[in-house]
Amino acid sequence: MATMKSRISWGARLGLVIGLGLSMMGVSACASSAPPAPPASTGQSSAALSGELQILVSSADASDAAFKDVNTAFQEQYPDVKVVFSSVPNDQYPAAQSSRLTAANVDIVVAQAMVNVPSYATGAESNDAQLAAAGGYVDLTSEPFMQDFNQSVLDSIKFSGKNYSVPTGLSYYSGVYYNKAMFAKYNLSVPTTWSQFVTVCQTLQNAGITPLGIGGKDQWPAGLPETAAVQGVYPDTASKQQAMQGLWTQTLKLTDSDPLKVLQTVQQIYSFADPNFPGIAYADIPAAFAKGTYAMTPDGTWNSPVIASAVNGAFDVGYFPIPTSDNADNNKFLNGKVELQLAVPSNAPNKDAALAWLSFFSQKDTYTKFVAEAGFAPTQPGIDAGAFLNSIASYTSTFLPGWDQIWVPNPNAGQAASEPFNVYDLTPMGKLDAAGAAQQAQQDWAAGF
């Protein structure tokens, strides 16, 4: 979803857009000697709350629908509050967030991950982390509703020992949905190694079937295969962190063999998609997948409700990690992230209603319905993940954060090195082969020092 980008977080590239607006707010916050206003009590009665509650999120069909249902139920309990819900496409979200935060006309936003960066990358915290450090977000650590969430998840998103956001769920996004009936027709098994995956795709191509449906019109989610490709080269968190440190300390170059292999893998994955996929919208992929135009589609688990609705029982749908290593052990688990993190700006015009909404959202019955509809894995204990997520439990039994959740972009580097793997310049998304894209990325990365 979004992610989030992310929905994700292909926002390393897009997040640069938001910097100016947030830095203006940060300067304003730092210039004041007064501490940020303390959080309002969440124990408000329905009669005590009124006015507009402005919510801004990055868009995905399933989570948008789930949010709208929460809003409807919230307004039934708080009839004097009018929820104004804005859902913005992922590529437009950073600029919209910046504008709304600067204008102080939003009460709940989706924030980028707020984590402390390694010492070698000091100064490269996300814009939202910088804003939190400047007092621009409400500290939610002691809010009673935070106790409803798994402490391990809360610990993973703490910034300077505090929680500034509510984790709406977990998503996994290094895999593909696949048409089980089509796999059976061509005697295909779920691949567990890169060579097996290539064979599956070639078999489908030889049968006149496009193996992969990818939406590239708005760039994202054409970057999703990057997460899987990184996993094949750097199969655990430690190796990913070592690669990041090597790049930041300039002992590793993006043109070296391992980083280059990431781009080569993505380029081959692109070769199994429709040659015109850069012109295909993400929202059009589920219907085409349902029609049998594609045998598989790379997507996040957050989109499972949309996929299921499009297929509507026409065939059984499965999901497996894209196996980008020839060592099957490196491909056993999906990479994931903490989903849409909801934060309250310190300058929110209706802070009381915002905190009441987060409290309402966190209630077990509300939250259970939300994650089921949004397609997220729950971040609260004792909640059934649902049939789809239960079916891929073997791939999620060990949580591996995706590359974009570990990577810290250098704000001084050029655009081609923001991720830092330059997947968007690969043909057909761009005009370069893997070697050329790596060279451009290295040039832009070196320019940041």
Residues whose CB falls within 8 Å of the CB of residue 442, separated by 6 or more in sequence, listed in order = 253, 254, 255, 417
Q: How many CA atoms lie within 13 A of 174 on its CB side?
A: 30
Rounded Cα distance, 376 and 379, in Å: 9
Q: pLDDT tens, 127-166?
A: 999 999 999 999 999 999 999 999 999 998 999 999 999 9
How many CB atoms are closer than 10 A to CB 238?
9
Residue of 4 and 215 predicted with greater confidence: 215
The Cα 423–Cα 145 span in angstroms is 40
Q: Which residues pair with 336 in a beta bridge?
A: 172, 401
Residue 157 dihedral angles phi and psi, to the nearest 5°:
-115, 15
Please determine, for residue 309, whether its predicted confidence score (pLDDT) is greater than 70. Answer: yes
Are residues 22 and 104 in contact, defined by beta-carbon separation less than 8 angstroms? no
Task: Please say whether the beta carbons of 230 and 421 come within 8 A.
Answer: yes
Dist. CA 173–CA 322, nearest whole Å: 10
Residue 179 has which token pair?
Answer: 């048409």
Q: At what angle do helices 224-233 and 257-271 cross, to 10 degrees?
A: 140
Structure tokens at 169: 């769920």
Q: How long is the chain?
A: 449
Q: What is the pLDDT of residues 335-366, one digit of tens each?
A: 999 999 999 999 999 999 999 999 999 999 99
Are 404 and 12 in contact by the 8 Å Cβ rule? The answer is yes
Residue 46 pLDDT exceeds 70: no
From the list 115, 117, 123, 127, the residue with the least C-alpha distance to 154 is 115
pLDDT, average across residues 104-115: 94
State yes or no: pLDDT of 35 exceeds 50. no
The one-letter amino acid at 411? P
Instruction: Report the percent of the chain where pLDDT is more than 90.
Output: 83
**How far is the C-alpha of 14 from the C-alpha of 115, rounded, in Å?**
18
- 45: confidence class by pLDDT, cuts 50, 70, 90: low
Is it the case that residue 260 has pLDDT exceeding 80? yes
Q: What is the pLDDT of residues 186-244, one digit of tens each?
A: 999 999 999 999 999 999 999 999 999 999 998 877 889 999 999 999 999 999 999 99
pLDDT greater than 50 at residue 40? no
